[in-house]
Structure 1
């Protein structure tokens, strides 16, 4: 029997009594694993070998998990700090205990969400207690992390599922193929197998010399597994962003551009957001350390905005009666919404004074210190837009949304009244998730208040909105967790295999 060289090498390395993996056969033959795989499938078609497949599961720890291995789980650190504060005897102030624990940022929320779940104590009305009988040394999740780090298996699927849900462990699966000689394969080896002089690739030299007429070409198994090569392509988030831009341009809008890091004046003060508003604290915003302040603000506009905050606008205006300083207004933050661009454009600061009617939009990234969950990220894309014209109404705003979302096949938009410091009336937008059937908030909107428009020098109506691009993706593609499509934990296979909608 004559066979191609790779098949002969695999037959000689295989065994009738010992199932051998593709990797082992590759090591013994010196061939590439993909070459061995192709030869194995060809030999299987000839009845000379059998191939058995199994799934191998591998659990790996994330960087966050390794940080906890070094420092301890956040909930354990919180419990230990609570014990030090005497919370096992009397409730302690939660803020003081958190400060003593050394936890910062997202770790605080992680600790609080797992503290009571694990029975370490209670958290209520700003106070924390510690159960003296709790035993952090027997924490199942901490023990599982240590076992995985040591290369040991974890007993209990529930613990592993919990580690996965917390983003501390990642489970990957791979197919393992084992090869065994059949009786026919053994017989063929005993009778003798020779290497056929075959050619695997046609070359220019063969064509010019005519040698191709006299050689035997190797057969190719087009069903054999081959090495996967994924070419680059535009992310579906960017594709959708481009499609949103095309849609809005088609509706008569022009695009805005502006800085990602901007003065609080443009981000919040122009929007009639009081300087002591909770959303302007470090819990919601990211402040820059260098530089801390913007170099220049328009003095006349600053004066008008300050007056609106202090005294209100119009005969019935009353202002906020809360602290307002230009020092705060000059502070630089990462923008929490792209409405800062709207303020720059409406004020005439960016492109000069605008005469109605005008339509502008942006599809840009914004930054918020939110707790990560299936619908919230620390940075995401906002579809900002506004229309400046005479005699606008909420009916015009709702009609604009219905026309916009219909371009993406979404026709079941619902509206809910809402409060914003900068718009009145205001409402949120909701759409039905195609997989879960739940209502998902997809945006916020309203008519800009006179306290916003008058300092900017705008004398007509302006309707405005901020829509979430990622939430639009959820309604279009059925994703339940936006972290699957955006960020460091995104599902690459899902992104590669998702069919782009047009």
Structure 2
């Protein structure tokens, strides 16, 4: 019997008494494992060997997981620092505890997102408390990391804890396919009768073609079922794809896009919105201020004076203003924008592109930053769909109709509205949509008609209806995501992103 050289080597190296792994055969024959695998499958088709497969799972710590196994989980470090600061008796400022913990960058987000979940305490309005009865030594995730660091094959690992660690990217469950080869009775018979090496050619060359030798040689079979290495190519993130689609929809509805700085003065972010300077949302706990530079240099003097007047005295015969402190130095303070309405105030005032004549429609789909408590529907940064329409005699009906037309483009036709209060719009209402998986109502945006106290200082003499919608919440309604941390941020689920079919 004649066989290709690789098949002869594998058949002679394999045993009829016990199964031999592909790796062992590769070492014995000095052939690559993939060549041995192909030869084994070809021999199996001839009935000369059997190939058995089994899938083994091994648990490996990621680089981040190994770091925490050697040290501490961020949430444990945050808890221990909170205890040292006395947060077990009275609430302590979150900035103080984070600064004392030494946590930086992504570790801060990770610590905050897991702190309350594990019962270490609570985080609310920029303050943190610590439960004195919490026991970091009993942290299942921490102890499991230590166990796996010492013994990757440990059998005592809890499945739920392992799933949580895998979701956090601290461990990887690696599946390995092991193939073992055993010589059959027919294979033994052929070996005893004698197996010769057949001259086979695996590739057609110019020499074979020009010399005519291709007619006399035996070509090796090409195994189309052989395993191939898997490559995960890059792809546009589903959030970015949806953002681009939102832009296309709004442009199709006659809107123009706005652009502007991520870091801006409180004047543009809040003062121009008729937001009082002593409003709780404007404290340093709810915003991300800049250390350097701390203030903006240039603000339009006339506009600053008009905005200050609106805050102090109000606008119109019935306007009273806030009768609250107003400080230009406070207005010049720089911070990461908490909403993209700062772009709207820049454009409406005429400072960005010049005076805009009605009717006009503008939008932006940009990132904003808020010092929120992390949960399935809140992140420290997210994308806001900002928009406004300037025209005469606008009404709430116009605003609702715009939303119904917009969301219908994404297959969402059950929008609900609830009256709401904003310092800068009257009337105001929130938008809600039904989550396709849970059936719960999810808040997806805020909107209203800009107040006269906001528009008059900006020099706008007609109606303006405006809104701020959450792009991530739109994704939740479109795809059924229940936790936006699965698609955005340091804990995102890469497999979920790779396997989710984008809807158009």
TM range (shorter): 0.7 to 0.9
Distance 1:483 1:264 in 2: 29
Cα deviation for residue 253 of structure 1 reads 0.7
Distance 1:470 1:251 in 2: 21
Q: What secondary structure, in the 3-state scheme, does the structure 1 residue paired with 2:449 have?
A: strand
CA contact (8 A) 2:365 2:386 kept: yes
Cα deviation for residue 299 of structure 1 reads 1.2
The partner residue of 1:269 within 268, 271, 280 is 271
Instruction: Provide the residue aligned with 1:479 in structure 2.
Output: 481
Residues 52-82 of structure 1: CA distance to partner in whole angstroms, max 9, x if unpaired?
2224131425627734752466357636864
More displaced, 375-384 or 106-115?
106-115
Residues 439-478 of structure 1: CA distance to partner in whole angstroms, max 9, x if unpaired?
2222222111222211111111111112222222222222
CA gap 1:4/1:499 in 2 versus in 1, 3 angstroms: farther
CA contact (8 A) 2:93 2:128 kept: no
Instruction: Provide the residue aligned with 2:143 in structure 1.
Output: 143
Instruction: Provide the residue aligned with 2:259 in structure 1.
Output: 257
Instruction: Provide the residue aligned with 1:451 in structure 2.
Output: 453
Cα deviation for residue 162 of structure 1 reads 7.3
Instruction: Provide the residue aligned with 2:168 in structure 1.
Output: 167
Distance 2:461 2:346 in 1: 16
CA contact (8 A) 2:78 2:97 kept: no
Q: What secondary structure, in the 3-state scheme, does the structure 2 residue paired with 1:114 have?
A: coil
Q: Is residue 95 of structure 1 aligned with residue 96 of structure 2?
A: no
CA gap 1:414/1:135 in 2 versus in 1, 3 angstroms: closer
CA contact (8 A) 1:51 1:179 kept: yes
CA contact (8 A) 1:79 1:130 kept: no
CA gap 1:235/1:94 in 2 versus in 1, 3 angstroms: closer
Residues 206-230 of structure 1: CA distance to partner in whole angstroms, max 9, x if unpaired?
4454443333222222223211233
Mapping for residues 79-94 of structure 1, pairs under 5 Å: 82=83, 85=86, 92-94=89-91
Mapping for residues 299-338 of structure 1, pairs under 5 Å: 299-338=301-340
CA contact (8 A) 1:446 1:464 kept: yes
Cα deviation for residue 354 of structure 1 reads 0.5
Q: What secondary structure, in the 3-state scheme, does the structure 1 residue paired with 2:92 have?
A: helix
CA gap 1:224/1:299 in 2 versus in 1, 3 angstroms: same
Q: 5+ unaligned residues in a row in structure 1: which ranges?
A: none
Mapping for residues 291-370 of structure 1, pairs under 5 Å: 291-370=293-372
Give aligned pairs, total.
490
TM-score, normalised relative to structure 2? 0.85
Distance 1:371 1:166 in 2: 20
Cα deviation for residue 49 of structure 1 reads 2.2
Distance 1:192 1:162 in 2: 54
CA gap 1:236/1:40 in 2 versus in 1, 3 angstroms: farther
Distance 2:492 2:129 in 1: 37
Mapping for residues 423-442 of structure 1, pairs under 5 Å: 423-442=425-444
Instruction: Provide the residue aligned with 2:223 in structure 1.
Output: 221
Mapping for residues 119-158 of structure 1, pairs under 5 Å: 130-131=132-133, 136-152=136-152, 153=154, 155-157=156-158
Q: What root-mean-square deviation, in Å, do the aligned CA atoms of Structure 1 and Structure 2 show? A: 3.3
Q: Is residue 111 of structure 1 aligned with residue 115 of structure 2?
A: yes
CA contact (8 A) 1:14 1:179 kept: no
Instruction: Provide the residue aligned with 1:51 in structure 2.
Output: 52
Cα deviation for residue 44 of structure 1 reads 3.5
Distance 2:94 2:350 in 1: 49
TM-score, normalised relative to structure 1? 0.86
Distance 1:299 1:64 in 2: 54
Instruction: Provide the residue aligned with 1:496 in structure 2.
Output: 498
Distance 1:46 1:494 in 2: 42
Q: What secondary structure, in the 3-state scheme, does the structure 2 residue paired with 1:245 have?
A: helix
Q: What secondary structure, in the 3-state scheme, does the structure 1 residue paired with 2:422 have?
A: coil
Q: Is residue 2 of structure 1 aligned with residue 6 of structure 2?
A: no
